[in-house]
Amino acid sequence: MVRLMITPHAPDGPRYPWADLLQTVNRRIHQEHAQSEASTPPGSRHLVEAHRPPDWLGTTGASEAELAHHEERLSMRLPPSYREFLQVSNGWDEESRSCLRLLPVAEVGWTRDIDPELAEIWGEPVGDTLYISEYIEGQVCLLNPRVVEPDGEWQAFDLASWHPGVIEYRSFWDLMTGMNPEFAPEESASSTTSDSG
């Protein structure tokens, strides 16, 4: 299996400015849609309008009590950047086209339970990962509790059938900023590729 490791620098200042990131993505998606509407011939504009994204692509954030309940269900505390994301938006809409639909915490679970076929195909450590997005067109986002950084962050996977192997990120934050490079820190990310078989 080919693995591409991407390791952006962690953000400085306030830890994980999710509100800024999500507002940036939300604004960009609406700008792109408005441009698409404007460039579409009047006779076909209704087709574009039918796919207009909702005003806000996120949801109300999860409460501390809700997070604690699901951490007890999973028998594990969630990693900091993912936990903070859920407190800002408990899931994310696939209409963003910036990433897959991220599941609300109530739908999150272990890959071996949610998608045993995927776990069997990919083997370890995929079966032990946390399944945090919908599986759409051969792609899914996962968090790996087997690789934990000193700050409590879990390794994140972008697993897809249409790119070579698994793209690994240091954390959920790095996964999301990797999918939205215009919001990533100015320092360039370093990457290495290895062939695991």
Residue 40 pLDDT > 60: yes
Domain tally, the chain = 1
Residues comprising the chain, all counted: 197
Residue 41 lies in a domain: no
Q: d(Cα 122, Cα 77) in Å, to the nearest integer?
A: 25
49 lies in some domain: no
Q: How many helices (H) and strands (E) does the chain have?
A: 7, 7
Q: What is the CATH number of the domain that holds 180?
A: 3.40.1580
128 inside domain = yes
Q: Are 107 and 37 a contacting pair, CB within 8 Å?
A: no
Q: What does pLDDT average to over the chain?
A: 79
For the cut 70, the answer to whether the pLDDT of residue 46 exceeds it is: no
Among 19-23, 61-65, 147-151, the range scoring the smallest mean pLDDT is 19-23
DSSP class of residue 32 equals: H
pLDDT at 97 over 80: no
Question: Would you place residue 144 in the very low, low, confident or very high pLDDT band (cuts 50, 70, 90)?
Answer: very high
According to the per-residue pLDDT averaged within each range, which of 35-44, 95-104, 121-130, 158-167 is highest?
Answer: 121-130
Is the pLDDT at 45 greater than 90, yes or no? no
In a domain, 37, yes or no: no
Residue 97 covered by a domain: yes
Residue 126, domain member (yes or no): yes
The pLDDT score that the predictor gives to residue 183 is 56
Does residue 51 sit within a domain? no
Tens-digit pLDDT profile for residues 62-85? 999 999 999 999 999 999 999 999
Question: Could you tell me if residue 46 is inside a domain?
Answer: no
Helices 172-179 and 80-88 sit at what angle, rounded to 10 degrees?
60
**Torsions phi, psi of 76, nearest 5?**
-165, 140
- Residues of the domain holding 112: 2-17+60-195
